[in-house]
Homo-oligomer: A and B are copies of this chain.
Amino acid sequence: MASVTVVAMSDLPATSTAFDLDTAVERVADGAYAVTVSDRWNALGGGPNGGYLLGLCLRALSAEAPHPDPIAVSAFFTGRVAPGSAELRARRLRGGPRLATGATELLQDGKPVVQATATFADLAAGGRTLELVEPPELPPPDDCLDLLGERSIPGLTIADRIEYRVPELPGWARGEPSGDPSADFWMRFADGRDADTLSLPMLVDAAAPVVLELGELGSITLQLGVHVRARPAPGWLACRARTRHVIDGYHEEDFELWDERGHLVAQSRQLALLPS
């Protein structure tokens, strides 16, 4: 594991953004990192958002990877996580001139709570391109509503980290779930940090689950797969979220992120459980 970048809290400038600060990892041994799970990314249900935990895992994996962009990412959420100290173990499965793959586990109290694997590459390398889908049709962000506005949902701290702009208030936010688990909207970091390929796998999991439109009260992510397809331009990200199959209490959520140039930058699918 040559040329490992040590990213300790103390190395970060005071101007660092919330995401960078809260995903800082400290290398304590070969492939072992000490981390602090922040309470600033809590989701519906009160625990840390799964995407944020994946962001922590990717930070350690990227420190071990010879290429900059996590193009294929998979995370399995295998246990409850509480804000506080935790441990990351990372190791390389493949290192090559074009592709490198690493695997990591987040452990809390010695128990594996997240397992994440990622393949890294250089998305600036170029190649054949053919786009058959249009980005979400949305009014410009400035002509949209702030989803939460002045409202604050107790415990939902991730809503302080991310801004959401919607063409109209979704049914669930008006107390009238529409019955259609889909949503198109804008998203960005609230503190002005621009998205990059390391934060996109967090952002695909950072919005309200569209099953809220079915009258459900939340969604428990079991597995999240993310493909990062391009480096995002600065600015807002257009989001397209869909659930099409709710079967025996399980549902998928498909999520796309498009940058302001109209380029697809990430797509994800998660398998999740309805809270019962």
Which A residues form the contact surface with B (CB < 8 A)? 71-72, 74, 76, 78-79, 93-94, 99, 101, 103, 105, 112, 115, 117, 119, 123, 125-133, 181, 214, 222-223, 225, 227, 229-230, 243-250, 252, 264, 267, 269, 271, 274, 276
Interface of A, helix, strand, loop or mixed by DSSP:
strand
CB <8 Å contact, B245 and A132: yes
Docked pose: A66 CA to B214 CA in angstroms:
32
Contact A127 B274 (CB under 8 A): yes
Number of copies: 2
CB distance from A115 to the nearest CB of B (A): 6
Partner of A74, one of B225, B243, B250: B225
- Inter-chain contact B249/A126, CB cutoff 8 Å: yes
Complex Cα distance, B89 from A103, in Å, reads: 15
A82 to chain B, nearest CB (A): 16
Q: Is the CB of B94 within 8 A of A248?
A: no
| A248 B93 Cβ-Cβ under 8 A | no
